[in-house]
């Protein structure tokens, strides 16, 4: 009988303490009441009332150990109800920054695509014009020198805009030479052939030439 009274009194004490704990948590959580309304409310845990037969089958030491563990667990439970509102605020900021990042990434990808398209367009137009000018240069130089040959070569074929172009000519009955190693007259004829080739690619109504042999 004494054991039954002690157990029942312990259970009643735990019920009262649990109810006080729930009431205290509800008061602390007033600042997040709106957020908590959307979540399902948990009911306070209730302990089962034991009959006399069930009480007789329990061990006193085990009950005391369980009671001690429960009391320690309750004393250590100090939830901060503000953590929910802080979490939602941080989540909102995170989603805003992620949206901003996606927007910036989309703009960056669009600018990069536009840049790559312009580079490809510049390269395609340059190579098309370069091929036409090279073919016409050969024709013009052969006509001016009556048998010579000329060639425009890319220093770097993968990136023609980085290193430039080499202008090589082969005067009649001579070997291939860079334009810098030619005589004055040969340089003049080579320059005229290049000017006429450029004129064929992009003609203009009028040319003014002053000291062409310089």
Model confidence over 168-197: pLDDT tens digits?
898 888 888 888 888 888 888 888 888 889
Give the 3-state secondary structure of residue 167. strand
* Distance from C-alpha of 70 to C-alpha of 61, rounded to nearest angstrom: 14
Token readout for 71 is 């009391």
Residue owning tokens 């989540």? 91
Residue owning tokens 């009194």? 9
* Distance from C-alpha of 156 to C-alpha of 164, rounded to nearest angstrom: 7
pLDDT at 172: 87
Provide, for the chain, the percentages of residues in helix, strand and coil under a 3-state DSSP scheme, each rounded to the nearest 5: 70, 5, 25
| Prediction pTM value | 0.52
Residue 17, judged by CB atoms within 10 A of its CB (0-12, 13-18, 19+), counts as middle
pLDDT in tens, 53-102: 666 666 677 778 888 888 777 777 776 778 888 899 999 999 999 999 99
CB 150 within 8 A of CB 129: no
Token readout for 110 is 């669009």
The closest of 42, 41, 46 to 19, measured between CA atoms, is: 46
pLDDT at 93: 94
Q: Where are the beta strands (DSSP E) in the chain?
A: 149-154, 165-170, 177-178
Higher pLDDT, 27 or 73: 73
Q: What does the H/E/C string look like for 13-60?
A: HHHHHHHHHHHHHHHHHHHHHHHHHCCCCCCCCCCCCCCHHHHHCCCH
> Which value, to the nearest 10 degrees, does the dihedral of the CA atoms of residues 119, 124, 127, 129 take?
-110
Token readout for 210 is 């002053």
End-to-end alpha carbon distance in the chain: 128
């Amino acid at each position: 009988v004494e054991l039954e009274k002690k157990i029942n009194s312990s259970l009643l004490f735990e019920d009262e303490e649990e109810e006080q704990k729930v009431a205290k948590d509800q008061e602390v959580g007033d600042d997040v009441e709106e957020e908590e309304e959307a979540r399902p409310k948990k009911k306070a845990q209730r302990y089962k009332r034991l009959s006399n037969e069930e009480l007789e089958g329990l061990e006193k030491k085990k009950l005391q150990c369980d009671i001690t563990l429960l009391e320690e667990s309750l004393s250590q439970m100090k939830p901060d109800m503000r953590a929910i509102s802080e979490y939602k605020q941080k989540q909102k900021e995170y989603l805003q920054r992620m949206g901003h990042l996606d927007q910036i990434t989309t703009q960056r990808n669009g600018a990069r695509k536009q840049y790559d398209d312009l580079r490809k367009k510049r390269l395609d137009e340059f190579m098309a014009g370069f091929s036409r000018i090279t073919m016409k240069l050969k024709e013009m130089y052969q006509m001016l020198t009556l048998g010579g040959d000329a060639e425009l070569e890319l220093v770097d074929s993968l990136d023609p805009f980085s290193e430039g172009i080499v202008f090589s000519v082969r005067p009649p009955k001579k070997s291939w030479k860079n334009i810098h190693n030619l005589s004055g007259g040969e340089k003049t004829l080579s320059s005229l052939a290049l000017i006429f080739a450029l004129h064929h690619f992009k003609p203009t109504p009028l040319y003014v030439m002053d000291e062409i042999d310089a």
